[in-house]
Amino acid sequence: MTLKIDRQAYYWPALFGFAILFFANFVANPIFVSHDNWRPVLLGAAPFIITTWAQTVPIMSGNGDLDLSVGPLAGLVNAIAAVTLPSLGLTDPFSMITIALGIGVASGLLNGFLVTIVRVQPIIATLGTFLTYQGLTLEVLPTAGGSAPPWMRVISGESFGVPGIVWVFVIIAVLWWLLGKTAYRRNLLAVGGDIRAAYTAGVNVTAVRIVAFVIAGVLASVTGLVFTATLGSADPTVGAPYILTSIAGVALGGVAFSGGRGGLLGAAAGGALLFLIENLFSLAQVSIYYIQIAYGSILLAALALNSITDRIRRRKAAAALV
Amino acid sequence: MSVAATNHLSAEATAPAPIASFRALRRNFGETIALADCSFAIEPGEIHALVGENGSGKSTLIKILSGILPQSGGELVWNGQVANFDNPRAAQKAGIATVFQETLVLDQLSVRDNVVLGLDHLFRRVLSNAEETRLVRQALDTIGMATLGTETPVAALSLAQRQGVTIARALLRPWRLLVLDESTSALDVDARDRLFEALRRFRAEGRSILFVSHRMDEILDIADRSTVLRSGRSVATLTRGQTSTETLLELMSTHEEAEAAEGAVAAKIRRAIGAPVFEAKRVAIRAESAAFDLTVRAGEIVGIAGLEGHGQVAFIEAIAGLRRPARGAVETERGAVTSFGNAARAGIAYLPRERKTEGIFAPLSVLDNLTIAALRRFSHFGLLAEARRRAEGARLIKQSHVVAPGLTAPVAALSGGNQQKVFLGRQLALRPRALVLNDPMRGVDLGAKQDIYKILEQFASDGGAVLLLSTELAELCLLCDRVAVFHNHALFAVIGRESLDAQALIAAMFGQAAAAGRQL
């Protein structure tokens, strides 16, 4: 379960694509890599990357699991953090972070419960929560407004020459790495790989899938806090676009939609890729509508690539069984 | 798991209490009764065989015992207490380790991950990496697979090795009852012997084994007692002295043909042998393996045998156009076979091994399942001539000896054997010149086997060619005009009718040229 250099690893195409687009951005605008530009670039990329991470975990648990509510949940947390909590006088970091993450856990439990216990199709169950969160967000905050407490500059600002958002990435990566040291990652890959094999071997498949949704919820909430810090306020429309990009990012990241293969490295590259494309489009001053077309096409291309590599892998596995 | 203490009033504690006993255990799925009335006990320190046709309730019983299904009635008594295992984990905790019929492994995970799977809690690991590796090696060593790399991804393993992984997974658990549900089918003889040796050791330690096998020799070899299930009822429990192939067959079968099954030789009909239907020319299965020729003619039944993973499956898949051989070609009257489509056009119909996943369409009707491959025959400008299709369906049901409530019944409602006959009927609907069959009698009950034998003999008598890969040697001896035996990914010997018996086949499978009476 350790990180080894493996040429066959799922994340290489994503890293390769990332490298190419990074270079393209640099060519289009050499300032892109300048030190002053790091902070805004990373803050812009953060919602892409963190929502993709959130999406990755349920998708890795297979069985059609995915979470359409990650974007809207991030938007809801953004509204609550910038409007509701300040109105209640809760602006200290501890309360805000605890409440935000608590909302994420609750949302994950709800989605997981609907999917594994009530057995609603994941795409329908999370479509339901997605619409609910959208409605709640507009209830809390009909138009853009609210304000971020000053401590959030830790995230949006810079300390010791390092953008604060980097620490958010590092904390998530370290926690994921630690999770990989526990039994959870193996259980997750097993449930995603073949739920019957996992179940008969004695894995608590329901718990594994619910926890996957909880991780998605928590990461979506983190995105909500990042929105708050970046915008300095809240915007009810900020979350929804990240539903599509989180799924596209997962596909670009080489994570198998059938489950059982993937990780945060590929997903990060996949999410970052989408940001780089958007950035490239805005540098070229292309209309925002074309970005939608590009995302849609990229999603389809990534899914096609995903299924082709899946087929090649399966053929190789079959050849080994001769 | 809910365990209620029973009134354990036993004053006469003479015999050791059974580790597990079943009392009038019952299970139905809607209208279908899978287990009607099953009562027997497993003693500590015994190897107990569970014998029965397909659909006799063995798998259902094992699923109840392993916590996968709840029973509909009756009691399961485990270690003196009435037990209901809510999930496999609960059964494992109680000390029941099960190896299921299917090789349930995870391709992307390593051998070690696959073997220890399920021991852990949701987050907490029970063993360190080093301990895991050591215990996995030890478990694999029990079945002679100690050389298997613990970090190798399971995707790279052969079927036999995968089965070894599932057995090791069960052995690693702290069990008091080991349940083996046809778990030796893919193992080669050496691994099986090692496993049996281990089972005897476990028995000496006072641990118990519940053993399901379709192989009489295995049961006679290893079982202390055998319980026979028939139509969901336990009809008898025999001690070692009482057990013989004949008795078991008689008890488990309601068919008169039972005696004509394994071992017994049916009357041989001499068939007219005609022109070649397909020819394998200078075919090499792997780049490095030897090339060979094999011609199959009209009216012939040619058997294919070999130890697991010796290239015989790849060969028949090449005949069916599912893969290309490394060298050489498969020729038919209508040109070389290069794809599944053109093999089909050349009149080669292929029956895959996995009926459930590669064969039947469970929600569709018997009629749809029979005719789905041959719809073109009933189509007028893209519309189906339903009356003709039904008539053909009725004819196929008769030809394939299918027992079904009707043409429109869902195929899932049929027994496994009847599903297999429907699946075979679908190939017959194509009016093929050759049938290529990948282990069609595997896991099929005796009655259905007899019917399939008849279908194949009729097909050959009518001038068809049959290529039959089978893992049951008695069956090959019974049916085939000659048997091609594979060894090391090449044709090793072709054994003709005159010298065809199980011993010659085994000798050839093990690469013993002289004993096999080798002909090429």
Residues B412-427: tens digit of each pLDDT: 888 888 899 999 999 9
Render B44-98 in DSSP notation, one character per residue. TT-EEEEE--TTSSHHHHHHHHTTSS--SEEEEEETTEEEE-SSHHHHHHHTEEE
Does B515 have pLDDT greater than 60? no
Contacts of B164 (CB under 8 A, 6+ apart): B140, B143, B145, B148, B187, B191
3-state secondary structure of B410: strand
* Interface check A189 vs B, CB under 8 A: yes
The residue-averaged pLDDT of B206-216 equals 87
The residue-averaged pLDDT of B272-292 equals 91
pLDDT at A38: 87
Question: Using 50, 70 and 90 to split pLDDT, how confident is the model at A296?
Answer: confident
B108–A193 CB contact, under 8 Å: yes
Query: Per mean pLDDT, which range of A2-11, A133-142, A182-191, B50-59 is the poorest?
Result: A2-11
Query: Per mean pLDDT, which range of A294-308, B137-151, B489-503 is the poorest?
Result: A294-308
* Interface check A304 vs B, CB under 8 A: no
Q: Are strands B208-212 and B177-181 parallel, antiparallel or unpaired?
A: parallel
Contacts of B491 (CB under 8 A, 6+ apart): B290, B292, B294, B315, B484, B485, B520
pLDDT at B448: 86
pLDDT at A300: 87
Contacting residues of A for B98, CB less than 8 Å apart: 200
Of B122, B126, B313, the CB nearest to A184: B122
Each residue's pLDDT tens digit, A180-196: 999 999 999 999 999 99
A320–B156 CB contact, under 8 Å: yes
| Dist. CA B439–CA B421, nearest whole Å | 13
In a domain, A161, yes or no: yes
Mutation target vs A (from B107, B124, B285; most A CBs, 10 A cutoff): B107
A322–B159 CB contact, under 8 Å: no
Question: Using 50, 70 and 90 to split pLDDT, how confident is the model at B155?
Answer: confident
- Report the first-to-last Cα separation within chain A, whole angstroms: 28
User: Do residues B472 and B441 make contact, with C-beta atoms less than 8 angstroms apart?
Assistant: yes
Q: Structurally, how many domains does chain A consist of?
A: 1
From residue B8, alpha-carbon distances to A188, B11, B12, B79 in Å are: 43, 9, 11, 11
Question: Using 50, 70 and 90 to split pLDDT, how confident is the model at A18?
Answer: very high
| Dist. CA B350–CA B319, nearest whole Å | 9
Of A184, A200, A260, the CB nearest to B104: A200
pLDDT at B517: 56
Q: At A98, which amino acid appears?
A: T
* Interface check A186 vs B, CB under 8 A: yes
CATH classification at residue A57: 1.10.3470
Q: Are strands B327-332 and B301-306 parallel, antiparallel or unpaired?
A: unpaired
Query: Per mean pLDDT, which range of A169-173, B184-188, B454-458, B482-486 is the poorest?
Result: B184-188
pLDDT at B519: 55
pLDDT at B9: 42
Does B495 have pLDDT greater than 50? yes
Contacts of B401 (CB under 8 A, 6+ apart): B421, B451, B454, B455
A141: exposed, middle or buried (C-beta count within 10 Å: 0-12, 13-18, 19+)?
Answer: buried
Following CA atoms A223, A225, A226, A231 in sequence, which dihedral angle do they give, to the nearest 10 degrees? 120
* Interface check A208 vs B, CB under 8 A: yes
* Interface check A201 vs B, CB under 8 A: yes
pLDDT at A6: 56
In a domain, A3, yes or no: no
Does B54 have pLDDT greater than 70? no
Does B402 have pLDDT greater than 80? yes
Mutation target vs A (from B59, B69, B120; most A CBs, 10 A cutoff): B120
Does A320 have pLDDT greater than 90? no
pLDDT at A246: 94
Contacting residues of A for B109, CB less than 8 Å apart: 186, 189-190, 193
Contacting residues of B for A211, CB less than 8 Å apart: 122
pLDDT at B288: 82
The residue-averaged pLDDT of A160-176 equals 93
Each residue's pLDDT tens digit, B224-258: 999 999 878 999 999 998 888 778 877 875 543 33
Contacting residues of A for B92, CB less than 8 Å apart: 202
How many residues in chain B?
A: 520
Does B85 have pLDDT greater than 50? yes
A183–B88 CB contact, under 8 Å: no
Number of A:B CB contacts under 8 A?
97
Q: Are strands B348-351 and B335-336 parallel, antiparallel or unpaired?
A: unpaired
The percentage of residues in chain A with a pLDDT greater than 70, rounded to a whole number, is 96
b/e map of B307-324 (b: 16 or more CB within 10 Å)? bbbbbbbbbbbbbbbbbe
| Dist. CA B123–CA A185, nearest whole Å | 8
In a domain, A127, yes or no: yes
Contacting residues of A for B89, CB less than 8 Å apart: 202-204
Residue A290 CB neighbours (<10 A): 11
Question: Using 50, 70 and 90 to split pLDDT, how confident is the model at A321?
Answer: low
Of A199, A207, A316, the CB nearest to B122: A207
Contacting residues of B for A207, CB less than 8 Å apart: 122
Contacts of B190 (CB under 8 A, 6+ apart): B144
The backbone torsions φ and ψ at residue B439, rounded to the nearest 5 degrees and listed phi first, read: 55, 60
Q: Are strands B482-487 and B301-306 parallel, antiparallel or unpaired?
A: parallel
CA B340, distance to chain mean position in Å, is 25
Contacts of B266 (CB under 8 A, 6+ apart): B260, B453, B478
Does A260 have pLDDT greater than 50? yes
* Residue A197 to chain B, least CA–CA distance (Å): 5
A202–B107 CB contact, under 8 Å: no
Of A179, A204, A261, the CB nearest to B89: A204
pLDDT at A122: 96
Domain range for A222: 12-314
B118–A203 CB contact, under 8 Å: yes
pLDDT at B355: 83
In a domain, A322, yes or no: no
In a domain, A1, yes or no: no
Q: How much is the mean pLDDT over chain B?
A: 86
The residue-averaged pLDDT of A76-91 equals 94
Of A194, A260, A321, the CB nearest to B159: A321
- How would you list the strands of the sheet with B482-487, edge to edge? B348-351, B434-438, B465-469, B301-306, B482-487, B490-496
Contacting residues of B for A204, CB less than 8 Å apart: 87, 89, 122
pLDDT at A293: 87
pLDDT at B81: 93
B120–A317 CB contact, under 8 Å: no
The owner of tokens 């949302």 is: A107
Question: Using 50, 70 and 90 to split pLDDT, how confident is the model at A297?
Answer: confident
pLDDT at A160: 84
Q: Are strands B47-51 and B208-212 parallel, antiparallel or unpaired?
A: parallel
The percentage of residues in chain A with a pLDDT greater than 90, rounded to a whole number, is 66
* Interface check A197 vs B, CB under 8 A: yes
In a domain, A84, yes or no: yes
Each residue's pLDDT tens digit, B3-44: 444 444 444 445 678 999 999 999 987 656 789 999 999 999
| Dist. CA A41–CA A37, nearest whole Å | 6
* Residue B247 to chain A, least CA–CA distance (Å): 34
b/e map of B360-383 (b: 16 or more CB within 10 Å)? beeeebbbbbbbeebeeebeeeee
Query: Per mean pLDDT, which range of A214-228, B10-24, B154-168 is the poorest?
Result: B10-24
Question: Using 50, 70 and 90 to split pLDDT, how confident is the model at A2?
Answer: very low
The owner of tokens 């401590």 is: A151
Domains annotated on chain B, with CATH: 2-254 (3.40.50.300), 274-347+432-520 (3.40.50.300), 359-430 (no CATH)
B117–A198 CB contact, under 8 Å: yes
Of A183, A193, A202, the CB nearest to B124: A183
Name the residue in chain B with its Cα closest to that of A191. B106
Query: Per mean pLDDT, which range of B348-357, B380-389, B503-512 is the poorest?
Result: B503-512
Contacts of B55 (CB under 8 A, 6+ apart): B231, B415, B416, B417, B445
pLDDT at A215: 98
In a domain, A321, yes or no: no
Contacting residues of B for A187, CB less than 8 Å apart: 120, 122
* Interface check A211 vs B, CB under 8 A: yes
pLDDT at B2: 43
Does B264 have pLDDT greater than 60? no
pLDDT at A286: 85
| Dist. CA A241–CA B35, nearest whole Å | 54
The residue-averaged pLDDT of A295-322 equals 76
- Report the first-to-last Cα separation within chain B, whole angstroms: 60
From residue A168, alpha-carbon distances to A41, A165, B247 in Å are: 15, 5, 72
The structure tokens listed for A217 are 């919820």
Helical ranges in B229-345 per DSSP H: 245-252, 312-319, 340-345
A322–B89 CB contact, under 8 Å: no
β-partners of residue B227 are B50, B237
3-state secondary structure of B23: strand
B106–A197 CB contact, under 8 Å: yes
Contacting residues of B for A189, CB less than 8 Å apart: 106, 108-109, 113
pLDDT at A90: 92
User: Do residues A134 and A258 make contact, with C-beta atoms less than 8 angstroms apart?
Assistant: no
User: Nearest-5° angle of CA B502, CA B507, CA B508?
Assistant: 100
pLDDT at A306: 77
3-state secondary structure of B357: helix
The residue-averaged pLDDT of B252-273 equals 53
| Dist. CA B508–CA B489, nearest whole Å | 13
Provide residues of B within 8 Å CB-CB of chain A.
Answer: 66, 68, 87-89, 92, 98, 100, 102, 104-109, 113, 117-126, 155-159, 169, 173, 285-286, 309, 311, 313-314, 489
Question: Using 50, 70 and 90 to split pLDDT, how confident is the model at B516?
Answer: low
A201–B124 CB contact, under 8 Å: no
Does B154 have pLDDT greater than 60? yes
In a domain, A319, yes or no: no
pLDDT at A53: 96
pLDDT at A131: 96
